[in-house]
Structures are given as structure tokens and as C-alpha cells.
Amino acid sequence: MTAAFTAINATEPTSWHALDTLWQGGEEAVQQGLPHRQLAPAWQILLLGDGSPTRHLKLLTGEPIEVDAIDMSFIGLDTDGAPDLIEKVPGPRLRRQVWLRTASGQRLAYATSWWDASHVDEYLPNRSLPIWDNLARLHAELYRDIQGIYCGFSPDLEDAFSQKGPFWGRHYLFWHAGQPLTLIYEVFSPYLAKYLGPMNLR
């Protein structure tokens, strides 16, 4: 089947911004939570909660959250250096990379997602909207299955956020109708300490 998406980058796939991890935790850490000295409670609600990050960011900042799509690459059956859960997303696959920012221009998060290329246009009809907004307009019933959490560094994200690391991130599967829909890897800017307070409690 030929994919029906429109690629932003239709040539050689670019890389994506995975953290160089200092620490990472799996499903058990996600379920139990972390010591508050490692990650403060308000940050844990953002990272380990199963609500919409774009909704949370809008509530925190009081501004609409907008998407800058920077990459739509067809990667075929390549695992792309993604978390192992990428194998649950049917191939061939498309990788999407975005910045989430306020309407006034402040970047708050980075996200990479991997999709079944033959169905991506069904779920992302408006590429200028966050994933959650697209899916909510379709009234899709979804389950956000958070599987991993990370703390680490990325020079590229330091430049993009104009913030020093370390950064906190996570990955999760979106499930729809009992099937994995997309794998998402998100990293949040330390700028959010303005609203959430310090990342850890000493």
C-alpha cells in the first residue's frame, strides 16, 4: 500500500533528538513515582500523568499551545533508534518531529512520534494542530500508556530551548480501539520551572 502523507522531508530522514541519559526508569518507576528529591511532585504530575501535555501546558501558561512541525520523514521499517516499543507500531512508518510552544513563541516541549504511514493522515488531518487536538476532533477514544521516563542532556535541545539541561522526558504508546496508534517521545523545557517550581527538591 502506498502511503498518502505529505512529507516535509521527503529525502534522507534526519535524526531526532534523543536524550543522552543520566538516568532512566521503566514502567515500574512510572507507576510508583519517583522520590521528590529526584523529581518534584508538580513535575511528576506533568511527566507521569496520563493527561494531554498540550492541555497541561495551556493551563500552566494561560496561552494557546501551537505546533511547529519540523520533520515528517518516511522511515519505512527502520527502528530509527526509537524505544523498543516502536515494533508495536505497524510499518512502514513515518516519523514526525515538532516543537510545542506558546502563541507568543516560547518553546516548552519537543516531541517525536512514529506512525503507521498508511494511516497517519486519518489521525493527523491538520498538521498545524497538536496530536491531541487532532484526535479530540475525531472523538477518538485513546489510552496514553506511559512506559519510560528519562533524565539527560542534549546540546541541540539546549540550543532550541535556550535552557541548560538536564532535561526530563518520557515515551508512551497511544492506544486506540485496542491497537497501538503511535509511539511518542517527549522532552520538556526547564523553562516550565517558572510555573511548576524547581525540578527536584533538595
Q: What is the pLDDT of residue 102?
A: 95
Give the pLDDT confidence score for residue 86 in this predicted structure.
95
What is the residue whose three cell numbers read 505546533?
67
Give domain status of residue 9, yes or no. no
| Residue that the C-alpha cell 518534584 belongs to | 40
In a domain, 146, yes or no: yes
Residue ranges of the chain with pLDDT lower than 70? 1-14, 121-142, 201-202
pLDDT computed for residue 6 by the predictor: 36
Residue 20: Cβ within 10 Å count: 12
Structural domain includes residue 134 = yes
Angle between helical axes of 53-61 and 41-48 (0-180°, round to 10): 140
Is 160 contained in some domain? yes
- Tell me the residue range of the domain where 166 lies: 21-196
pLDDT of residue 171: 96
- Let me know: does 144 contact 50? Beta carbons within 8 Å: yes
Report pTM: 0.86
| pLDDT, tens digit, 9 for 90 and up, residues 133-187 | 655 555 555 678 899 999 999 999 999 999 999 999 999 998 877 788 889 999 9
Distance (Å, whole) CA 44 – CA 31: 11
DSSP class of residue 82 equals: -
The contacts of residue 78 (CB under 8 Å, 6+ apart) are 13, 93
Return the CATH number at 108: 3.40.1410.10
Residue 83 resides in a domain: yes
Overall domain count for the chain: 1
Residue 89 is assigned to a structural domain of this protein: yes
How many C-beta neighbours within 10 Å does residue 105 have? 9
pLDDT number for residue 13? 47
Burial level of 57, CB count in 10 A (0-12/13-18/19+)? buried
Nearest to 48 by CA among 133, 161, 150: 150
194 conformational bin, left if phi > 0, alpha if psi -120 to 50, beta if neither: alpha
Residue 66 belongs to a domain? yes
Indicate the residue type of 108: L
Does any domain span residue 13?
no
* pLDDT at site 181: 84
